């Protein structure tokens, strides 16, 4: 699967997205991304070791605790946190790694692609998801 193909996953009804850094702090992008993807009808999984719930849903401390594998792992955390989680994702066989703007680090694409990852950086998943013909809405 190419990076462009990863964006096409957002057009499928059953796509699941693990949001790394999901939060209940509405001032943080982890809260905004989680709630927006959920509102658009995606199967979202909250990953945050500091929370047991996010928006009333279960939150998981790490990727290995998820009840089902995500189609996309979306990073909304600082690069120093994301690097370790990305390595965990690859070790679990989760290869579609989407880094929100600011979550990437220098050389992330080369590092993770070389390890088998399908990496997308500096692109907002919410913007792409809002234009999904399956979701049928571009309203905010």
Only one residue has tokens 């849903």, namely 57
Domain assignment present for residue 139? The answer is no
**78 with 53: CB under 8 angstroms?**
no
Domain assignment present for residue 136? The answer is no
**51 with 22: CB under 8 angstroms?**
yes
Domain assignment present for residue 115? The answer is yes
Domain assignment present for residue 88? The answer is yes
Domain assignment present for residue 3? The answer is no
How many domains is the chain built from? Answer: 1
Mean pLDDT calculated for residue range 28-36: 97
Q: Is the pTM of this model over 0.85?
A: yes
pLDDT-derived band at 45 (thresholds 50, 70, 90) equals: very high
State the CATH number of the domain containing residue 112: 3.40.50.720
| Structural domain containing residue 48 | 8-130
Domain assignment present for residue 137? The answer is no
The pLDDT assigned to 140 comes to: 46
Domain assignment present for residue 140? The answer is no
């Amino acid at each position: 699967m190419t990076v462009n193909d990863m964006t096409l996953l957002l057009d499928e009804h059953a796509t699941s997205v693990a949001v790394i850094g999901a939060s209940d702090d509405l001032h943080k992008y982890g809260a905004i991304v989680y709630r927006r993807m959920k509102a658009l009808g995606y199967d979202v999984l909250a990953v945050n070791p500091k929370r047991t719930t996010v928006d009333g849903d279960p939150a998981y401390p790490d990727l290995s605790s998820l009840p089902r594998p995500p189609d996309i792992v979306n990073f909304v955390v600082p690069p120093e946190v994301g690097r370790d989680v990305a390595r965990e994702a690859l070790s679990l066989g989760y290869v579609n790694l989407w880094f929100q703007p600011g979550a990437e680090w220098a050389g992330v694409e080369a590092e993770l692609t070389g390890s088998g990852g399908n990496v997308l950086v500096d692109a907002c998943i919410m913007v792409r998801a809002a234009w999904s013909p399956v979701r049928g809405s571009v309203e905010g």
